[in-house]
Structure 1
Amino acid sequence: MTDAHPAAPGPRRIVAAVVTFNRLTLLQGLVARLREIDGVAEIVVVDNASSDGTGAWLRGLEGTPGTPVVPRLLDENRGGAGGFREGLDVAVERGADLVWLMDDDGMPDPDCLEVLLAHDGELDFWGPAVVDEERGDRLVFPIRLPGTSTVVHDMAAVRAAATDGLIRDVVIPFNGVLVTRELVQKIGSVRAELFIWGDDHEYRLRAERAGARIATVVDAVVRHPSVGALGTPMLGGRMTYNHSPSDLKHYCMARNNLLNLREYRGTPHALAFVAKTVWFYLFTHRDPARLRLSFSAFAAALRGDFTGHRRFLA
């Protein structure tokens, strides 16, 4: 996919695919915004068995004026991975040329899609800068500049590093990213079995391996609630570790991260992650029980067992 592909003649059919779980107020705001944006043909909303009235609200939208909303109400929580697989598959089945993927807690600026579409035909998997909704000059998810060890946290640094308005080979999935139908047909859909944490990264890595043209469009913006500092400092602040108090999140992170590193970066990187985990839970944040949980997740990754996280679901 390294050769330039001309944009398809005529209007492109763009379907937004949103995944939601128990955040009805945020979802309502996002759907309202998406219905205001020209170019969105349909909005597929995948509800992960919410208990806050989301399903009833979505059913009530069917047949109302405006951009059609297509509910997909799952009978169980399949996590972000299962939700995005369903949303991506449904959008492609409904004839999307481009699928606009996003969580329920992001809010694209009114011109976000227009700015992204300026690069249709030259990119395969591309998305906006994701900024703090309270501080538009700060990234919610820092970007490591390609080919360097430099991590940027603010929009001024992002713009300074961009070439022709793009940071190539970097994208923050699935926060307002566009993916072409052709790429989905080439690499397949999201790995639903990963449940949460790392499913979006795996999809980007798979796209990269397939030669997809990937980029962040710095003038396209999605606003997102702050997630605070990402990673707990270790080794005197020389690196961080993705520690979470949630056993569910940690188990999926440890399992999926090991899987992704082994598959896409090789055994040395995977072993380095194991060593980092051991150090963190022995010395930085001593927690023998969490270390045991980590090794159960690592063993599951090596066995290809994606059922262990279910014991943490309510």
Structure 2
Amino acid sequence: MNKLKVAAVVVTYNRKYQLLSCLEALLKQERTLDAIVVVDNCSTDGTQTLLQSSGFLDEVGYGGNVEKVVLEKLVTAKNSSGDLVKIIFIGLPVNSGGAGGFYEGVKFGYEAGYDWLWLMDDDGMADTIALQELLLYTSKANFLNALVVDIENPEKLSFELKNPNGQGEFRDRKEVVENSEDGIIIGQANPFNGTLVSRVLIEKIGYPKKEMFIWGDEVDYQFRASNSGLGIVTVTSAIHYHPKAATKILNLPFGGYFIAWSGIPFKDYCNVRNTAYIHKMHFPKSILTTFMKYLIYFVPKGDFSSLRLCFKATMDGLKEHWGQEKKYMK
């Protein structure tokens, strides 16, 4: 197991202090990482400068809007091994969203020959034994997720986790542990939050879909992994701390249905478009049902502006008409 080459991939954008905490936690892993790949989505908050002053970079390489910048440095792990960890900083020339960031990171890690890539956002923080625990289960699956708990209240989950027997969802850490089999939940995950994926899986399903920009790219990747037959599990002893999910949920007047709606056109457009694409690719029979939920919610309110956005986003997702999210940016 220790001969495997493992790299963490962290995607960041304008959260330099959270990124720093994330990187510190990665250097403290009991199973030392071979590399940490930081993909910076053209941050404007001084991320590179902070990484330099904190010892993660030797220089600052601003690429402007021309080309990406790749910088490397060896740093000492903050565990008992004292081994060296390669820090690889990839500064993108434009903000390509979380989807574009994970595309770049997974592509880089795969082409560099790593056996496993450990995927996470900048606002998550891995427990010191998380990687060690995940690697114990590599014979069980090629997509292994840490258990993602609320960083403020670790007994609660940060994101709900579906019960594999179809009986509702887990919200508490205790529930997950009690319902696990040999320390794992089969077929369920909270992707791109402490998610370990194998080279074998990447060879079969490819990279995350960069065109999705934000929201849903991790869900699409999880479905692709599930369809591969190479296995998905959540490892209950591998803990990943993350802020509680803050998605705004609007309930429909019947049937227990709901929609996710932020009220921010850019985010809502990406969410609806990417949801339509996901249903087209993985659940084609439910495409109409998905759009009808928005129709049912917005028509009685007379909110035809939001409905028009939903219709446009749905059609763009079904037609795979990418790149239109820029029209909704402010």
TM-score using structure 2 length:
0.88
- Structure 1 residues 55 and 229, CA gap change in structure 2 (3 angstroms): closer
Shift of 1:220: 1.1
Contact 1:59-1:71 within 8 A present in 2 as well: no
Question: Which residue of the partner structure matches residue 81 of structure 2?
Answer: none
- The match for 2:296 among 247, 272, 279 is 279
Aligned ranges 1:15-164 → 2 under 5 Å: 15-37=7-29, 38-58=31-51, 61-62=56-57, 63=73, 65-66=75-76, 67-164=85-182
Shift of 1:59: 5.3
Secondary structure at 1:100's aligned position in 2?
Answer: strand
Amino acid at match of 2:298: Y
Question: Which residue of the partner structure matches residue 293 of structure 1?
Answer: 309
Number of residue equivalences = 304
Amino acid at match of 1:271: L
Partner Cα separation in structure 2 for residue 173 and residue 70 of structure 1: 22
Shift of 1:210: 1.3
Partner Cα separation in structure 1 for residue 24 and residue 181 of structure 2: 33
Secondary structure at 2:34's aligned position in 1?
Answer: strand
Partner Cα separation in structure 1 for residue 51 and residue 108 of structure 2: 16
1:192 pairs with 2:231: no
| C-alpha distance after superposition, 1:42-97 (max 9, x if no partner) | 10000000000112334562335322210000010100000000011111122210
Question: Which residue of the partner structure matches residue 313 of structure 1?
Answer: 329
1:222 pairs with 2:232: no
Secondary structure at 1:143's aligned position in 2?
Answer: strand
| C-alpha distance after superposition, 1:222-241 (max 9, x if no partner) | 11112346522222582221
Contact 1:58-1:71 within 8 A present in 2 as well: no
Amino acid at match of 2:286: H
- The match for 2:279 among 244, 249, 261 is 261
Q: Return 5+ residue gaps in structure 1 as ranges.
A: 1-8
Partner Cα separation in structure 1 for residue 255 and residue 155 of structure 2: 24
Question: Which residue of the partner structure matches residue 6 of structure 1?
Answer: none
Partner Cα separation in structure 2 for residue 77 and residue 105 of structure 1: 17
- Structure 1 residues 274 and 296, CA gap change in structure 2 (3 angstroms): same
Secondary structure at 1:40's aligned position in 2?
Answer: coil
Contact 1:81-1:192 within 8 A present in 2 as well: yes
Partner Cα separation in structure 2 for residue 232 and residue 219 of structure 1: 33
1:14 pairs with 2:6: yes
Partner Cα separation in structure 1 for residue 248 and residue 181 of structure 2: 27
| C-alpha distance after superposition, 1:21-60 (max 9, x if no partner) | 0000000111111112132111000000000011233456
Partner Cα separation in structure 2 for residue 230 and residue 297 of structure 1: 19
Amino acid at match of 2:316: A
| C-alpha distance after superposition, 1:164-215 (max 9, x if no partner) | 1111000111000000001101110010001011100001111111112101
- The match for 1:302 among 307, 313, 318 is 318
Amino acid at match of 1:270: I
| C-alpha distance after superposition, 1:126-179 (max 9, x if no partner) | 111111111111111101112414112111211122111111000111000000
Q: Return 5+ residue gaps in structure 2 as ranges.
A: 58-72, 77-84
Secondary structure at 2:193's aligned position in 1?
Answer: coil
- Structure 1 residues 160 and 127, CA gap change in structure 2 (3 angstroms): same
- Structure 1 residues 95 and 148, CA gap change in structure 2 (3 angstroms): same
1:232 pairs with 2:250: yes
Q: CA RMSD in A?
A: 1.7
Secondary structure at 1:128's aligned position in 2?
Answer: strand
Contact 1:280-1:286 within 8 A present in 2 as well: no
1:246 pairs with 2:264: yes
TM-score using structure 1 length:
0.92
